[in-house]
Every structure is written in C-alpha cells, then in structure tokens.
Chain A
Amino acid sequence: MTEQSTSSETRRPDRAALVIAAVLAIIAAVIVYSTATAHGGSSTRVGPSAFPYTIAGCLFVLAIWTAFEAMRRDFPEREEQQIQPVIWIIGGLAAQMLLLHITGFAIATGLLFAATARGFGKGPLWMTIPIGIVLSFIIWVIFAKGLQLSLPAGPLERLI
C-alpha cells in the first residue's frame, strides 16, 4: 500500500489519475456500445440490458469523480518504480502462455520461474532455467499423475 501523503508541492493535475478517469469512461462507453448492439434477448420488462446500462452509468460518474480528484491531486503519493523487473515477470508469463501447448508444462513454466527469479535479481539464467524446468517437471508429475489435473504435456512429459 502506498502511504497517504499530506504535502503536495505541485498543484498540477495528476496525469496518471486522469488516464485512469479516461479508461473508466472508455470502459463505460464500451459497455453501452456492446449492450446497445447486442441482438436477441427476450422482452421481459427488465431485460438483460438494464444492469449493464446502470453499471456503465455509475462507471461514468466515477470517471468524472476520478478526474475531479486528479485535478485536486487527491491521489496518494506513489513511490518510484523500477520498470525492468516488471518487464521480466510479464515476459515470463507471456512466454509461458505462448509456449504452454508447444513445449509442454515443464519447459514453459520453467521459463516463467527463471524469468521471475531474474526479475528479483537472481541469475544467471543458464542456472535458473534448468532449476525451474526440473521443479515444474516434478510439479507436473505430482499434479498430472497424482491429482489428475489436465496439464499440457510436451516432449519432456512424454518421456514418462
């Protein structure tokens, strides 16, 4: 959690919070558009579109409120962020997602493991990737063989 700060030197609007306000408004617009263009549904008095419209309306109000707070800089102070670890971890998750059905669970998840460790500053990859793959392979054996979860198999998993 970020700490609430009492002092704000600048009175410029909080740009990031303005972006959030805009995103909320866009979500509201998408809900309205998607609901308005939907086909079918029956002619009950309160049909499937009433709730979406209400939520979209509320989101729109919240967007305006957020913009208002952004102008007043009411959002909590944020600490500096390091972007590199975030990229490593997101990269690891993306790699796992894309490779899962190609290389199987163990290799894909091993890469995620190594990338996350790298995000926390632990390397080198030639050491962490094999560790991750062995670990994921053990997990695969326990969960796919023992608990019968359907975890995708690849070349490694087919060995047993």
Chain B
Amino acid sequence: MDSFSLLAHGFAVAMQPFNLLYALIGVTLGTAVGVLPGIGPALTVALLLPVTYKLDPGGSLIMFAGIYYGGMYGGSTTSILLNTPGESSSIVTALEGNKMARAGRGGPALATAAIGSFVAGLIATMALALIAPTIVKFALSFGPAEYFALMILAFMTVSAAFGDSTLRGLTALFLGLALGLVGIDLQTGQARLAFGIPDLLDGVEVTTLAVALFAIGETLSVAASRSSGEEKIEPVKGSVWMNREDWARSWKPWLRGTLIGFPIGAMPAGGAEIGTFLSYSVEKQLAKRPEEFGKGAIEGVAGPEAANNASAAGTLVPLLTLGLPTSATAAIMLAGFQQFGLQPGPLLFANNPQIVWGLIASLLVANFMLLVLNLPLVGLWVRLLSIPRHWLYAGILVFATLGTIGANPSTFELGMLLAFGILGYILRRFGYPIAPVVVGLILGPMAEQQLRRALAISQGDVTVLVHSPIAVILLLLAVCAVVVPLIMRARGKGKVLSALAANED
C-alpha cells in the first residue's frame, strides 16, 4: 500500500470521536503547559506523560502527539510575549518576536508564528508520511552492526557536535550511559550496578530522570540565581490578524523555514535549534529590508518558527522508523511508547500500522486544532504568563512529583527524583547540556544490545562492525561529529557552535 492509503486508514483511526477528544485534550494541555515560562517541549511531554498512563496505547499516543505539538506552539507564545531566552527551542523567535511585541505588533507576531507553525507542521507531517515507508524499507535491511553505528552517530551528534564544549557534551552523554547500565542485563539476567537494592533492578526510569533534570534542576537554578529582574509581559495590543503586508512578508519564510527545518530534524542530528538559527540567518540574508532585523522583522519570526515546528516533525522520522531518539523530547516519547510495550522502528510499521498511521494522522488533526486554539484564544494563554513565579514553580514541582508518584508511589523513586534534580542543578551550574544525559540513558542499553547481537552473530569478531559500507559511513560521520567541532573550537569558531546548541529539546 502506498503512503496515502495508509494515511487514509490513519485518519479513520484519528477521526474516531474518542481519539478526537484525546487529541483535543492533548493539544489543550500541551499548549497550557508549554506556555508557562521555563517549561520547554521536553518537560511538557515528561510532565504530562502520567496523564496518559491509564489510556489504551492508541489513544494515549494520540494525546501524546497533541501534547508534543501543543508544547511547541505554547513555547513560541512565551518567547514572543516574554523575552525568556532560557527557553532554548524558541530563542530566535524571541529575538524578533519580542521586539515586535514591544512595538505593539504582538498580535501579528503571534499570528505569523501560529500560522507558520501550522504550515510547517502540515508540510512536514506530510513529508514524514511520505518518506517513512521508504526509510522503513531501507531500515529492514539493517543488521545489528548498522544499528549500532547509527546509534553511535546519534550519540556523537547529540552530545559533541553542538554546544559550547565537546568535553561537557561527552561527559553528559556518558553520565546517561552509566545510568543506563543500572538494572538487570537483558541478555544474561545479571544485575548490574544495583548494589543489592531491589528498586534499582528495573533500572532508572527515563521519565523520572527527565522530569528531575528539567523540572527540579531548572527550578533550583532559577531559585538560586534570581539575578534577573522581573520579566515584563508585553500586552497584546490591537488585532491578532495580520495585514496584507504581513502575509506577503511571511509566506516565503514559512516555506523556507520548513525546507530548512525538516531535513535537519529528520537527520540524526538532534535539536530543533539548529534549524531555527539557520532559517533566521537565511531570512536576514534574503530580506528586502535587512536593517529591520533586530528591531522586529516579521520574517525573523515566521521563518524560524516554521523551521522549529518542521524540525519537531522531522525528529519523528528517526524516532518512528528507526526507534532512534535524537532529542530529549523524542527520548521521552520513546519512553511513552515503551510503557505500552511498543518499540518504535521498522517492525512497528509492519505489526501495528493502525497505531503508527493513526499517530501520524492525529498529528495533522492536532495541527488544525492548534491553529484554532491559538489564534482566537491567545488572550487566554497570555493570562497564564502572568502567574507569579513563586506559584508557578511551586506548581511545577507539585506536578513533577505527581508524575513520579503516579507511576511508582515509592519513597525510593522520590529519592531518585530528588538526587537527579540536584544533579540537574549542578549540570546547569557548570554549563553541561541536559539532553545527552536523557538520550544516553534510553539509547545506551539499546546500543549495547545491538553491539552484542552483532558480535554474537560474528562469534566475537569485532571487524563485523565495519563490514558493511553503510556502517562504515555512519561511523566515519560519528568521528567527524566529534573531531570537526573540536578543530572549529580550537580555531576560535566555537561561538557559531554554541549558538547552535540544543539545550533543552
């Protein structure tokens, strides 16, 4: 069957009344939580995962898709109305968007962000549907050696390629890998690093780690620094609708942003930020009035915002087709799949097509819902921004612990949450990136399994890892991902890389 008939089947699943309701709840919750300052898409997804525990897999993943897209939309509202560069996935949106809001053009800025996200989400999700079957076909020919090489590449791009230090990226990754060792070894049943504690035999929960690092770590570091004064919310004056000129200046950046964002998200390179920065500089180059950049150019909101959403959809390509999470958000989504015993990858397309295609179709549905929710109701979301910080962070911690307690009401689990929260604070304090820890935790055991499978087939011959040309190319790319940035930093070009850092997402 071709993509379109599969997608049509997906729509049949997504349009069932209950699934529509789940999608609506998902996008509403996702937007509401994503709007809150300091909460990025990764944390939004991690915080809301427990809400989906008791649903059936299909409904739960549909709600999840809504949460994911909703979180992305919500984040852009925050960065336009509240200049919070802390929220990394939409730093660029804040550059121009906040300037527009200050000039009283907050409405059109929000509108171009929302419509741009919609256009990008629509095109990118269609692209996902189109290329997924091809990649799946390709991936079915992958053996363990190729998978292992692919995972090594993902490790290196997530940790070392971007950000301001190769050392700190790699350290964060290996902390995650070390945490991934904890628990029972899947192949031999031997307990590793459990120190005789029964609670550790199941390993470290991805959601516990993610919530602790993002929510508690962030709360601690905001509370401890408090150097920044009160943030100023820019009121939305006038109409949210764009005038003819806004449209004329927006539509090309939307399309270009999508073209830039989707491939970057789809490659195992991780991070929506890279695409947004690229799109921003492209728009600046192509703009008829480049002098407006930095003072509130609508192109500078439209392009990056489209790139951001397109790359979020792009991230789903490696996640769904290969089971490869390339961002913290994707890692948490993978954990969401795994709680139902579903393993994303080529086999999921073969065995559970109704779930995969239902999910892809509901991404499109969620996208429509978000456009409706965001344009007319933006005033409602803006009100969420004015929650005082003490109540906001108190609430965040209540929900962060609620999720952990809901999953496993044990004192030990809460202790781990606290310990990882302190770890998250220390990582932030010393400039370590967070995402590689989360990706390392979930991908580490998978990489180990593939490696051991490969070596078991070859009877211990290590050269099996470089027998196929695909594996060799992937491994060479992985080496480049570490070495090239090192050289660039040594030559003083590190600024570019740290600007492209994928902090949160």
Which A residues contact B (CB, under 8 angstroms)? 1-2, 4, 16-17, 20, 24, 27, 30-31, 34-35, 38-42, 44-48, 50-52, 55-56, 58-59, 62, 65-66, 69, 74-76, 78-83, 85-86, 88-90, 92-94, 96-98, 100-101, 105, 109, 112-114, 116-117, 119-122, 128, 132, 135-136, 139, 143, 147-152
User: Is B190's CB under 8 angstroms from A41's CB?
Assistant: yes
- Which B residues, 219 to 255, have Cβ-Cβ distances below 8 Å to chain A? 219-220, 223-227
User: Is B188's CB under 8 angstroms from A38's CB?
Assistant: no
Beyond the given pairs A92-B397, A117-B393, 9 more chain A to chain B contacts, judged by CB atoms under 8 angstroms and listed by A's residue number, are A1-B431, A76-B431, A89-B397, A90-B220, A90-B421, A100-B405, A112-B397, A116-B394, A135-B398
User: Is A132's CB under 8 angstroms from B406's CB?
Assistant: no
User: Is A44's CB under 8 angstroms from B401's CB?
Assistant: no
- Which of chain A's residues have a CB closer than 8 A to the CB of B164? 4, 76
Distance from B403 Cβ to chain A, minimum over Cβ atoms (Å):
9
User: Is A45's CB under 8 angstroms from B174's CB?
Assistant: no
- Which B residues, 305 to 357, have Cβ-Cβ distances below 8 Å to chain A? none
B289 at the interface (CB under 8 A from A): no
User: Is A93's CB under 8 angstroms from B178's CB?
Assistant: no
- Which of chain B's residues have a CB closer than 8 A to the CB of A50? 452
Residue ID in chain A nearest B455 by CB atoms = A46
B187 partner, pick from A44, A116, A143, A150, beta carbons under 8 A: A44
- Which of chain A's residues have a CB closer than 8 A to the CB of B390? 116-117, 120-122
Q: How large is the interface on B (under 10, 10 to 19, 20 to 34, 35 or more residues)?
A: 35 or more
27 residue pairs A–B, Cβ–Cβ below 8 Å: A17-B430, A24-B171, A27-B178, A31-B181, A34-B195, A35-B193, A38-B190, A51-B181, A52-B181, A58-B170, A62-B167, A62-B171, A65-B167, A74-B165, A80-B227, A81-B225, A85-B226, A93-B401, A93-B414, A96-B414, A98-B411, A100-B409, A109-B401, A112-B398, A113-B398, A117-B391, A149-B50
- Which B residues, 368 to 401, have Cβ-Cβ distances below 8 Å to chain A? 388-391, 393-395, 397-398, 401
Residue ID in chain A nearest B413 by CB atoms = A97
B191 at the interface (CB under 8 A from A): yes
Nearest 5 A/B pairs, CB to CB: A122-B390, A120-B390, A45-B460, A85-B223, A149-B406
A47 partner, pick from B50, B188, B397, B425, beta carbons under 8 A: B188
User: Is B430's CB under 8 angstroms from A116's CB?
Assistant: no
- Which of chain B's residues have a CB closer than 8 A to the CB of A66? 167, 171
Report the separation of the CA atoms of residues A101 and B189 in the bound assembly, to the nearest whole angstrom: 32
User: Is B394's CB under 8 angstroms from A55's CB?
Assistant: no
B226 partner, pick from A1, A4, A82, A89, beta carbons under 8 A: A82
Instruction: Specify which of A17, A42, A113 lies most central, judged by the most chain B CB atoms within 10 Å of its CB.
Output: A113
User: Is B188's CB under 8 angstroms from A42's CB?
Assistant: yes
- Which of chain B's residues have a CB closer than 8 A to the CB of A88? 223
User: Is B418's CB under 8 angstroms from A90's CB?
Assistant: yes
Distance from B132 Cβ to chain A, minimum over Cβ atoms (Å):
31
With A38-B192, A85-B223 given, is the CB distance from A152 to B448 under 8 Å? no
B269 at the interface (CB under 8 A from A): no
User: Is B188's CB under 8 angstroms from A41's CB?
Assistant: yes
Residue ID in chain B nearest A77 by CB atoms = B431
User: Is A44's CB under 8 angstroms from B219's CB?
Assistant: no
- Which of chain B's residues have a CB closer than 8 A to the CB of A93? 216, 397, 401, 414, 417-418, 421
B422 at the interface (CB under 8 A from A): yes
- Which of chain B's residues have a CB closer than 8 A to the CB of A35? 192-193
B53 at the interface (CB under 8 A from A): yes
User: Is B430's CB under 8 angstroms from A55's CB?
Assistant: no
Report the separation of the CA atoms of residues A24 and B432 in the bound assembly, to the nearest whole angstrom: 14
B503 at the interface (CB under 8 A from A): yes
Residue ID in chain B nearest A116 by CB atoms = B394
A116 partner, pick from B227, B393, B422, beta carbons under 8 A: B393
Report the separation of the CA atoms of residues A43 and B197 in the bound assembly, to the nearest whole angstrom: 25
B469 at the interface (CB under 8 A from A): no
B463 at the interface (CB under 8 A from A): no
- Which B residues, 68 to 107, have Cβ-Cβ distances below 8 Å to chain A? 86
- Which of chain A's residues have a CB closer than 8 A to the CB of B498? 4
User: Is B398's CB under 8 angstroms from A119's CB?
Assistant: no
User: Is A46's CB under 8 angstroms from B460's CB?
Assistant: yes
With A2-B431, A46-B460 given, is the CB distance from A55 to B226 under 8 Å? no
Report the separation of the CA atoms of residues A66 and B394 in the bound assembly, to the nearest whole angstrom: 35
Report the separation of the CA atoms of residues A52 and B179 in the bound assembly, to the nearest whole angstrom: 10
Distance from A87 Cβ to chain B, minimum over Cβ atoms (Å):
10
Distance from A19 Cβ to chain B, minimum over Cβ atoms (Å):
10
With A38-B190, A40-B190, A136-B398 given, is the CB distance from A86 to B451 under 8 Å? no
- Which of chain A's residues have a CB closer than 8 A to the CB of B6? none
Residue ID in chain B nearest A92 by CB atoms = B397
